[in-house]
A = this chain, B = another copy of it.
């Protein structure tokens, strides 16, 4: 049992605090012979990196990743490949500015984990939220970049589909568009509305929530496992483990509770490849915890950033009543940078289940 590890066969163990010397991750169980470079991991990290637009925190972290182990030059290609031993990834913390946080050392920020960590552990690194900071998710993104490499033919993409209550127009959904705006929005018009809305929010010292959708295409049928290793169960666990996430749904999700059986069941017809062809995808690509071959679709709700300039009643560690507001540098909508994190978690869950599938199904060796 480990509270800082995720996955079973493709398994990450993360460590580090927001304002400590470094953060990092050990990726264990990656098969050998997978080509991987620091540059490939860096490319994913750069998508999540703070300070890239006025809509995310101005903390300047280069998030430069180093591979410390588990990768060696391949005899045949000369390029670096995984060796089957644990891959240690290190990201040094550079722009720490601990002074920003000293004054909230004893004040419980509402909506944050300050109080619960104190109750549980009795001691905590209060600088920037310490271990509870979303900074930890950088290591997930780094690990996710490796996970993607063992999912040949699988495309994992994420998008912001709602921000501050303003949803995208599904008819304008275009994956290509997600690279063109600072919100990972698949709908250019929504992105414009969000920009205006978020400017106003930011100026008023407030924050907003968002909904992220992650889709994996190319996942073959048969991935996942009953009863307690269901693919959708592990996705729910993965997404709910992301900071500030309060809800997760698969396929049509909560909408399924509101329609009839015959509307919800995805009809099948004979496919060209001898496998069933589904006529709809309410199931989100998972039935009985096992993939159907359709796109795997997950959405999660991110609450508004708790670090806001608006004062909220709170107490100190010694029980004094205070009003707390957070100066520091913060994302007015943490949901934005949660998009690459959600993609990474999808990749980690799928990589894990791909390895499980190799082990436990199919015919006898």
A361 close to chain B: CB less than 8 A: yes
Q: Are A246 and B240 in touch, CB under 8 angstroms?
A: no
A123 close to chain B: CB less than 8 A: yes
Which residues of the other chain, B, contact A250 by a CB distance below 8 angstroms? 240, 246-247
Which residues of the other chain, B, contact A69 by a CB distance below 8 angstroms? 15-17, 20-24, 131
A196 close to chain B: CB less than 8 A: no
User: With A125-B72, A131-B85, A363-B122 in contact, is A240–B232 under 8 Å at CB?
Assistant: yes
The residue in chain B whose Cβ has the minimal distance to the Cβ of A92 is B68
Q: Are B211 and A254 in touch, CB under 8 angstroms?
A: yes
Q: Which of B11, B283, B361 contacts A1 (CB 8 A)?
A: B11
Chain multiplicity (copies): 4
The residue in chain B whose Cβ has the minimal distance to the Cβ of A84 is B121
A363 and B362 CA atoms in complex are apart in Å by: 17
**Binding-face segment, A43-51, A178-186, A202-210:** A202-210
Q: Are B276 and A108 in touch, CB under 8 angstroms?
A: yes
Q: Are B5 and A262 in touch, CB under 8 angstroms?
A: no
**14 further contact pairs, Cβ within 8 A, besides A14-B227, A116-B222, A150-B365:** A2-B229, A3-B229, A15-B87, A16-B86, A31-B364, A32-B121, A34-B364, A110-B265, A111-B261, A111-B283, A120-B221, A209-B256, A246-B256, A259-B304
Which residues of the other chain, B, contact A265 by a CB distance below 8 angstroms? 110-111, 306, 308, 312
**Chain A interfacial residues counted at CB < 8 A:** 157
Which residues of the other chain, B, contact A365 by a CB distance below 8 angstroms? 150, 152, 354, 358
A81 and B85 CA atoms in complex are apart in Å by: 31
A173 to chain B, nearest CB (A): 18
Which residues of the other chain, B, contact A8 by a CB distance below 8 angstroms? 1
Q: Are B3 and A88 in touch, CB under 8 angstroms?
A: no
Q: Which of B164, B228, B313 contacts A269 (CB 8 A)?
A: B313
The residues in A between 260 and 295 inclusive whose CB is less than 8 angstroms from any CB of B are 260-270, 274-276, 279, 282-284, 287-293
The residue in chain B whose Cβ has the minimal distance to the Cβ of A279 is B313
A96 close to chain B: CB less than 8 A: no
User: With A85-B4, A86-B15 in contact, is A121–B361 under 8 Å at CB?
Assistant: yes
